[in-house]
Amino acid sequence: MSINQLIEGIIAKKSPIVVGLDPRMEQLPEEIIKTYEDQGCSPYDIVKNSLIEFNKGIIDSVKDLVPAVKPQVAFYEQYGLAGMEAYAETCRYAKASGLYVIADVKRGDIGSTSKAYSLGHLGKVLYKESKLNDFEADSVTVNPYLGDDCLGEFVDEIKAYDKGMFVLVKTSNKSSEQLQNLSVEGKKIYEIVGEMVNDWCQKTIGSKNYSPVGAVVGATYPSEMDTLRKVMPNAYFLVPGYGAQGGGGKDVVNAFNADGLGAIVNSSRGIIFAYKNSGLPYKEAARQATLEMQTDINTALEEAGKKYW
């Protein structure tokens, strides 16, 4: 799916929102796990099946409300092969549900190695005409520490397969300032990375004025976000840090351009585990939390004169 299709989805659903699929066994509804325990499944299958069922439930309950989901691969990888089976099935199911899938993998390596990541997550890996890359997504997150010969490898598959990426520019965590906010001749590292991203953007702008090369910019740093919006006018921002990490609707307004587009805000725990605080079943709780987030963000955008619908 292309960046243009993501934009169409955002407008059609009135929802610049991506739901983060970050399941943890200890936070899943007990009844899901119990089903597979009662069936006498192995621990491997209990974990795999529970993660899949939970994610499918979330996807089913929010797919008419949001254009995209973002599985965080770490929460699958930690469970080994059982987790990776669940990850693959989650990506497949989300795509089949018409959602744009952002693989939050934060990969990045030297050129030839980034090529393998890029082919695996965005492109095609064939053996005798059989497609092997079970982890194919629409977009990936990429770490810029290794520079352009890393980023460029991803751009190849982005162009060839109409995919996308979000480069880590200013992350939402507290210690992101340690490296990202250092000053080089009056310019912060995050600005310099933003300029690197912008160079790739300018080479890849699509018909809707946005590039498939985007940036991760945390909701927890509104002033940095304001700066970065100007540095990368044609980049889509993937904005983590809303909700559980502390950001609210007003904190993310600066991520959007004057056209009301240019950003998609993530919430993970605040949506998928909303049932913990609401007393509702998990699917209904997720749906309600998504609707509340939608109202919060759209209200803030309307107040800022950034109505896109």
The residues annotated as belonging to the active site are 106
**85 lines the binding site for a second copy (CB under 8 A):** yes
Q: Which residue has the tokens 């069936």?
A: 39
Residue 192 in contact with a second copy, rule: CB under 8 A: yes
Give the separation between CA 200 and CA 214, rounded to whole angstroms: 9
46 touches a second copy by CB under 8 A:
yes
Q: Which of 69, 137, 168, 232 binds a second copy (CB under 8 A)?
A: 168
Using CB under 8 A as the binding rule, whether residue 108 contacts a second copy is answered as yes
Query: Does residue 237 belong to the site contacting a second copy (CB under 8 A)?
Result: no
Contact 92/128 with Cβ under 8 angstroms? no
Pick from 1, 150, 231, 255: which binds a second copy (CB under 8 A)? 150
| 44 lies in the binding site for a second copy (CB under 8 A) | yes
Q: Which two tokens stand for residue 213?
A: 């090369």
Should residue 71 be labelled a site residue for a second copy when binding is judged by CB under 8 A?
A: no
Round to whole Å and give the CA distance between 251 and 148: 30
Residue 298 binds to a second copy (criterion: CB under 8 A): no
- Span from 77-85, 202-210, 254-262, 272-280 in contact with a second copy (CB under 8 A): 77-85
Candidates 1-9, 116-124, 204-212, 272-280; binding stretch for a second copy (CB under 8 A)? 116-124
The answer to whether residue 132 forms part of the interface with a second copy (CB under 8 A) is: yes
Distance CA(116)–CA(235), nearest Å, equals 24
Question: Minimal CA–CA distance to 55: which of 80, 24, 31?
Answer: 24
Q: Which residue, among 116, 122, 108, has the nearest Cα to 150 in the 3D structure?
A: 108
Residues 64, 98, 173, 246: which binds a second copy (CB under 8 A)?
Answer: 173
Q: Write the DSSP assignment of 74-92 as a string of letters.
A: HHHHTTHHHHHHHHHHHHH
Please tell me the distance from the alpha carbon of residue 215 to that of residue 198, in angstroms, as a whole number.
9
Q: Which of 11, 84, 280, 304 binds a second copy (CB under 8 A)?
A: 84
b vs e for 236-266, b when ≥16 Cβ sit within 10 Å of the residue's Cβ? Answer: bbbbbbbbebebebebbbbbbbeebbbbbbb
Could you tell me if 287 and 278 are in contact, meaning their C-beta atoms sit under 8 angstroms apart? no
- Applying CB under 8 A, among 1, 3, 17, 119 the residue interacting with a second copy is 119
β-partners of residue 92 are none
**Residue choice 82, 158, 217, 272 for contact with a second copy (CB under 8 A):** 82
In the complex with a second copy, the residue whose CB is nearer, 1 or 150, is 150
The yes or no reply on residue 148 touching a second copy (CB under 8 A) is yes
Given 4, 113, 227, 288, the residue binding a second copy (CB under 8 A): 113
The verdict on 147 binding a second copy (CB under 8 A) reads yes
Q: Which residues contact 279 (CB under 8 A, 6 or more apart)?
A: none
Candidate segments 53-61, 102-110, 207-215, 224-232, binder of a second copy by CB under 8 A: 102-110
Number of residues engaging a second copy in binding (CB under 8 A): 70
Binding flag, residue 143, a second copy (CB under 8 A): yes
**What is the dihedral angle through the alpha carbons of 34, 37, 43, 45, rounded to the nearest 10 degrees?**
-90
Following CA atoms 239, 243, 245, 246 in sequence, which dihedral angle do they give, to the nearest 10 degrees?
A: 100
User: What residue ranges bind a second copy (CB under 8 A)?
Assistant: 22, 25, 42-44, 46-47, 72, 74-75, 77-85, 88, 106-111, 113-114, 116-117, 119-121, 125, 127-128, 130, 132-135, 143-150, 168, 171-180, 182-185, 189, 192-193, 196, 240, 245
